[in-house]
Amino acid sequence: MKKKHDRAKETKNLRQFAEQVISDNLVPVTDTLTDEKKLVHELLVHQVELVMQNEALQEARATTEIALERYTELFDFAPTAYFTLAADGGIHQANFRGELLLGIERGKIVRKQFINHVSGEYRQVFKRFLETVFTGEGAQQCEITLQVGGIPIWVSIEATVDASRKTCLASMIDISEQKRNVQELQLAATIYLALDEAIMVADANNQIISVNEAFTRLTGYTAAEAINQSTSLLKSGRQNEAFYQEMWHLLNTTGHWQGEIWNLRKNGGEFIGWLSISTIYSDTGEVVHRVAMFSDITDKKQTEDIIRKQADFDLLTGLPNRRLFYDRLQQAIKKAKREGQKLAVLFLDLDQFKDINDTLGHEIGDRLLNEVAQRLDACIRDSDTLARPGGDEFIIILDNLDEFNSIERVANCILGSMALPFQLEHESCYVSLSIGITLFPDDAVVVDELVKKADQAMYAAKRQGGKRFCYFAPSMQAAADSRLRITNDLRNALANQQFWVAYQPIVDLATGDIHKAEALIRWQHPTQGLISPAEFIPIAEDTGMIVEIGEWVFHQAAKQVLKWRSKHHPHFQISVNKSPVQFESQHDNINGWFEHLQHLELPGASITVEITEGLLMDASSIVSEKLLIYRDTGMQVSLDDFGTGYSSMSYLKKFDIDYLKIDQSFVRNVTTDSTDRTLCETMIMMAHKLGMKVIAEGIETAEQRDFLMQAGCDYGQGYLFSRPVPAEEFELLFHPRNDTGL
């Protein structure tokens, strides 16, 4: 109605306007005009009206064309793919994005069916979607896949039917990337939950922010219990600081760490985890998350351990087997080469094992082998290797050898330990063994040869009747035989009165007076002549004979000091060497010495006990107690060979040492070596500060004596003044003065 009215109004206006144009140009229309003229006028008005209408139409058409052009441009170049589709799916129009989406020129798309581009499994979905678009109201939306060049592409379609309801405008967006991300996230979430491995995600401050179900299964902590806790929740305390420092170093430098770690469950149980940690960084490189994945490998480790044990260890004794022994020997050789050290291989074979096996049975034989293994183990250090290559054979590697004594100490310990009977069930039996010894690098430098030669030496020991050890090298064997002879002869030396004591003066450097002497034992062997204490004292220590010998020396010295106190000087003092073995021995009667001095009416100060630095280093409570008893009884203590061991001021203070003896290795060089000179000066100064007197050992020249005097040294001992001599000869030193400064 309104449109009709508007049009009537427009027509009326148009007529008035046309009338106006005509009246401006022609004769005005009056009632006086004839009908013909009125008709002409009417025609003119119509003509003007038509011209005007035509102009308006032209204008409207131009405007529409501009609008259409703009719409087409917008449609064509829109960043979204647009299609105009008919209800049957026919494509009426497609823009450039649409062309790009389908990968086909627009000319070839138009008038074709859109469904041809839809993946087979989504065609029904698309059909139903179109129906909904054309039957429903407003925009409809669906997600389907298109086939583009054989590749499926996910698109999201939104379509709205137009006013004619004959076509719809469908916009399509490629959501393949989005779909992939979602799928990946879903997959990751599924894996995260379903994984057998425990996962723990922490923030940059190592606070737990997420855990999976496997975490709960493995550790016992629920997600609620774990979240917001520190990652140290599972720390077992088994790994040391160095372990964690190394782990954090790698995490901070590479972002990753993986390895074995002991973890703690909620119930306190421990497990070995195989842990791998990865770091997630922000775009700016900041740590955002650390993701830790771990599994319990305790069982696996135990199985591995069993397999390794079976591969490397003897099942009966638990000792390394032949394979592991060869490996260890190889390593020991490499180390000895690197450090310029020697090592020894001891090949051991039981002497009558076959008989025991045959008569008492294999079970008893096995138990005997086990017992033997235990006794052998007790004779070696933890760092040595004892192996059982098979049968009744054992092999030992002794490395870090500093002296041959230690080889023979082990060999003798082994032979000695076999001397005791083996109690097997109700049977008691005796077993001996033979030992062959080779040395690296003296006898061989490769594994096989060292073992082969040790085996040969072992057979040599067997040929000599067993129960002994044999070196492979003849020279070593000769030296060992000599040591064995000395050992045997030493047992009778005391009873046969083959020992005597030499005395060496300890001279007061300021006055030249001799009020002190050191007692040094001498062994006059009936066939070998004078044997040096340097040779027999270590054997006496190994065999324990040193205790008896030391007692004898003390008694000799006490007798001598009594004599010299009355005859020469009332404060004469004699130093007696006391070996660490004596200190540790149960048979060492410390009070006996003082009682003996009292018995002789001698004060404690008439005897000085010389000890070595090593004794202070390893001082057990027994040693400490004994040193304090000396102090209480007035007996003085002198620290021998100072400077050669682990000299420490704290020991000197702690044990109340009276004299410090500078070792002759320093004194020897005081006139030639500035370092030794400085060391001597320092030792003297330091000893004085601690209230000790200093004795310089091994003075052989007047220059050495003069230097030491100037440095403030209190006493001197050495060949310059006198060698150690028998007591009668010593007495001659009391009288004449000579060029030694006496």
Ligand X SMILES: Nc1nc2c(ncn2[C@@H]2O[C@H](COP(=O)(O)O[C@H]3[C@@H](O)[C@H](n4cnc5c(=O)[nH]c(N)nc54)O[C@@H]3COP(=O)(O)O)[C@@H](O)[C@H]2O)c(=O)[nH]1
Q: Does 537 bind ligand X (CB under 6 A)?
A: yes
| C-beta closer to ligand X: residue 391 or 614 | 614
Taking CB under 6 A as the criterion, the residue among 534, 601, 735, 736 binding ligand X is 534
Closest residue by beta carbon to ligand X = 718
Q: Does 553 bind ligand X (CB under 6 A)?
A: yes
Tokens 């002409």, residue? 40
Please say whether the beta carbons of 333 and 444 come within 8 A: no
Please say whether the beta carbons of 219 and 231 come within 8 A: no
Amino acid at position 573, single letter: Q
DSSP 8-state symbol, 432: -
Pair type for strands 469-471 and 433-440: parallel
| C-beta closer to ligand X: residue 412 or 504 | 504
| C-beta closer to ligand X: residue 548 or 700 | 700
Q: Give the count of beta carbons closer than 10 Å to the beta carbon of residue 578.
A: 25
Taking CB under 6 A as the criterion, the residue among 273, 320, 533, 716 binding ligand X is 533
Q: Which of residues 216-235 bind ligand X (CB under 6 A)?
A: none
Rounded to 10°, the helix 621-633/590-599 angle is 20
| C-beta closer to ligand X: residue 424 or 695 | 695
Q: How far is the CB of 701 from ligand X (least distance, A)?
A: 9
Taking CB under 6 A as the criterion, the residue among 122, 697, 708, 711 binding ligand X is 697
Please say whether the beta carbons of 317 and 381 come within 8 A: no
Cα–Cα distance between 74 and 58 in angstroms, integer?
24
Q: Which stretch binds ligand X (CB under 6 A): 87-95, 205-213, 438-446, 529-537?
A: 529-537
Strands of the sheet with 167-174, listed across from one edge: 91-94, 81-86, 167-174, 151-161, 140-148
Q: Which of residues 61-100 bind ligand X (CB under 6 A)?
A: none
Taking CB under 6 A as the criterion, the residue among 398, 643, 724, 730 binding ligand X is 724
Tokens 């410090």, residue? 660
Q: Does 242 bind ligand X (CB under 6 A)?
A: no
Taking alpha carbons only, the member of 696, 692, 703, 698 closest to residue 680 is: 696
Q: Does 584 bind ligand X (CB under 6 A)?
A: no
DSSP 8-state symbol, 90: B
Q: How far is the CB of 698 from ligand X (least distance, A)?
A: 4
Q: Does 321 bind ligand X (CB under 6 A)?
A: no
Q: Does 579 bind ligand X (CB under 6 A)?
A: yes
What are the angstrom distances between the C-alpha of 179 and each of 98, 150, 153, 206? Answer: 20, 18, 10, 33
Q: Does 698 bind ligand X (CB under 6 A)?
A: yes
Outline where DSSP puts E strands in 73-139: 81-86, 91-94
The 483-522 site mask, x for binding ligand X (CB under 6 A), equals ---------------------x-------------x-xx-
- Distance in Å from the first CA to the final CA of the chain: 155
Please say whether the beta carbons of 262 and 244 come within 8 A: no
Q: How far is the CB of 557 from ligand X (least distance, A)?
A: 9
Q: How far is the CB of 504 from ligand X (least distance, A)?
A: 6
Taking CB under 6 A as the criterion, the residue among 640, 659, 707, 730 binding ligand X is 640
Taking CB under 6 A as the criterion, the residue among 641, 683, 716, 742 binding ligand X is 641
Written as six digits, the tokens of 308 are 């390794």
| C-beta closer to ligand X: residue 212 or 717 | 717
Q: How far is the CB of 543 from ligand X (least distance, A)?
A: 13
| C-beta closer to ligand X: residue 322 or 677 | 677
Alpha-carbon 502 to chain mean position: 56
Tokens 């002794």, residue? 398
User: Which residues, including other chains, have CB under 8 Å from residue 485's CB and lie 6 or more apart?
Assistant: none
Q: How far is the CB of 722 from ligand X (least distance, A)?
A: 9
Cα–Cα distance between 345 and 694 in angstroms, integer?
44
Cα–Cα distance between 394 and 73 in angstroms, integer?
98
Q: How far is the CB of 552 from ligand X (least distance, A)?
A: 9
| C-beta closer to ligand X: residue 347 or 730 | 730
Q: Which stretch binds ligand X (CB under 6 A): 157-165, 379-387, 453-461, 528-536?
A: 528-536
| C-beta closer to ligand X: residue 167 or 722 | 722
Q: Give the count of beta carbons closer than 10 Å to the beta carbon of residue 302.
A: 11
Number of residues that bind ligand X (CB under 6 A): 23
Q: How far is the CB of 304 from ligand X (least distance, A)?
A: 52
Q: Does 740 bind ligand X (CB under 6 A)?
A: no
Q: How far is the CB of 518 from ligand X (least distance, A)?
A: 6
Q: Does 718 bind ligand X (CB under 6 A)?
A: yes
Please say whether the beta carbons of 721 and 696 come within 8 A: no
Taking CB under 6 A as the criterion, the residue among 321, 577, 608, 740 binding ligand X is 577
Q: How far is the CB of 532 from ligand X (least distance, A)?
A: 5
Query: Which helix (H) or strand (E) element contains residue 227?
Result: none
Rounded to 10°, the helix 474-493/533-543 angle is 80
| C-beta closer to ligand X: residue 129 or 642 | 642
Q: Does 538 bind ligand X (CB under 6 A)?
A: no
Q: Which of residues 607-626 bind ligand X (CB under 6 A)?
A: 610
Backbone angles phi, psi at 286, to 5 degrees: -80, 150
Cα–Cα distance between 590 and 637 in angstroms, integer?
14
Residues near ligand X (CB under 6 A) are: 504, 518, 520-521, 532-534, 537, 550, 553, 577, 579, 610, 640-641, 664, 697-698, 700, 717-719, 724
